[in-house]
A and B are shown apart, each in its own frame.
Chain A
Amino acid sequence: MSSIGTGYDLSVTTFSPDGRVFQIEYAAKAVDNSGTVIGIKCKDGVVMGVEKLIASKMMLPGSNRRIHSVHRHSGMAVAGLAADGRQIVARTKSEATNYESVYGEQIPVKELAERIASYVHLCTLYWWLRPFGCGIILGGYDRDGPQLYMVEPSGVSYRYFGAAIGKGRQAAKTEIEKLKLSELTCRQGVIEVAKIIYGIHDEAKDKEFELEMSWVCDESNRLHQKVPDELLEEAKAAAKAALEEMDAD
């Protein structure tokens, strides 16, 4: 699957003989090395969760936010290089507010996803820019209902029922596929996402982690916000209990 592209991988403006752009694939590897980020679309909204790997015990819990609100109705979780992610979030916020000033209504989530995807793709077209080393999960709730999009470093953007990026994405995707998303409410979705993240966290290989979750749903009045503290605690407790059950077997 992966190969080194000796000679054809020095610039993002070079194709390899078999039609690949290696720099973009390497950028995707930067995303693969980061902590897992998950998003699911439930029947009444979108839930996103991040497995924040804690680099140092001296970091304050709750710092290093990985999920950002980009507008009242939508939020974005970033995996990969954090600084690149900051740039993309800033751009997205700007696109959203600019759209609203010109058109007088909130930017449709589909339009927002397309704009970020264009922006990410832009950086794969010029030799003097490098691709963004981030994968983005964008969740929003507009007139057409709740929607979930994922944008990859290549600039590709698709709409999903459930998406996962980062280290544990394969395991996460398997777990997400087991869920009946069309019947889940966001309240239930939050619990499920917590269970999945706790479940795929590799105790042996990785250090400790902190769970960060957000939602945008009918219950939150279609505003993107952090999952309320008591629900978050409930989710963490349920996830830990589920882990212990598994271990007990």
Chain B
Amino acid sequence: MDQSIQNDLNAPHSMGTTIIGVTYNGGVVLGADSRTSTGVYVANRASDKITQLTDNVYLCRSGSAADSQIVSDYVRHFLHQHTIQLGHPATVKVAANLIRLFSYNNKNMLQTGLIIGGWDKYEGGKIYGVPLGGTILEQPFAIGGSGSTYLYGFFDQEWKEGMTKEEAEQLVVKAVSLAIARDGASGGVVRTVIINSEGVTRNYYPGDALPLWHEELEPQNSLLDILSSSSSGPDMMIS
């Protein structure tokens, strides 16, 4: 038993993840969970998987944490150069294309599933999915990461064209929390980023702000509360 824990601690950091990108009438909403795991150990329970590429384009990262970070760093650099040369903000399409060139040309070495979302004045809000092999696909919404397998049916049912900003964000938060409930590799908090013509808004939904599904326990703010609150401890201890 010890040996397996040792192996896991040295395993590469993987973001078993749930990431989502959704267009709405006027922009996009990106959402993600916050769990970074090395095997069964949660290396970071509050990570930020939504990274900025430019003022108006953000990226949701899944797969290998290192790989997705390096790809986003490179692309941020090239996009910055491109913006200076062009004289005005880069379009979402250009950002997505640069991401997929990296993903495709280094496919043997990388393991990243990425969702690019942003707003530009020519096309409005756009979402591009760049999954493992380096395909690029423009979609009205995209889901990725290990938790997304539990969301395909949900989106088939709930997705609507032309939602409002509030509807879109609620959809994203609900979806991520559903995935967190079922996927062991997703968890923590839900982060969202809303991008539109007016700018960028980051939101944070801690565990106790999320709906519960099917007999889960209420989240506690601190272990101390559980310990100090009278005799019998919680029934969840199954050792």
List 9 extra interface pairs beyond A103-B94, A143-B122, CB under 8 A: A102-B97, A102-B101, A103-B82, A103-B97, A103-B98, A104-B94, A105-B94, A108-B86, A111-B86
Contacts of A111 in B (CB 8 A): 85-86
Q: What would be 5 A-B contacts, judged by CB atoms less than 8 Å apart?
A: A103-B94, A103-B98, A104-B98, A108-B86, A110-B87
Contacts of A143 in B (CB 8 A): 122
- The 3 A-B pairs of least Cβ separation, nearest first, read A104-B97, A103-B94, A104-B93
Give bound CA distance, A103 to B94, whole Å.
Answer: 5
Q: What is the total number of residues of chain A having a CB less than 8 Å from a CB of chain B?
A: 8
Q: Is B96 an interface residue (CB 8 A)?
A: yes
Bitwise, A74-107 to B at CB < 8 A (1) or not (0) is 0000000000000000000000000000111100
Contacts of B103 in A (CB 8 A): none
Q: Is B192 an interface residue (CB 8 A)?
A: no
Q: Please report B residues at the A interface, Cβ cutoff 8 Å.
A: 82, 85-87, 91, 93-94, 96-98, 101, 122, 136
Contacts of B122 in A (CB 8 A): 143
Which B-chain residue is minimally distant from A114 (CB atoms)?
B85
- Measured between C-beta atoms, what is the minimum distance from B30 to chain A in Å? 20
Which A-chain residue is minimally distant from B136 (CB atoms)?
A104
Contacts of B86 in A (CB 8 A): 108, 111
- Measured between C-beta atoms, what is the minimum distance from B134 to chain A in Å? 13
- Measured between C-beta atoms, what is the minimum distance from A221 to chain B in Å? 18
**B91 and A102 within 8 A (CB):** no
- Out of A102, A108, A110, name the residue touching B98 (CB < 8 Å): A102
Interface centre among A102, A103, A111, A143 (most CB of B within 10 A): A103
Contacts of B97 in A (CB 8 A): 102-105
Give bound CA distance, A104 to B97, whole Å.
Answer: 6
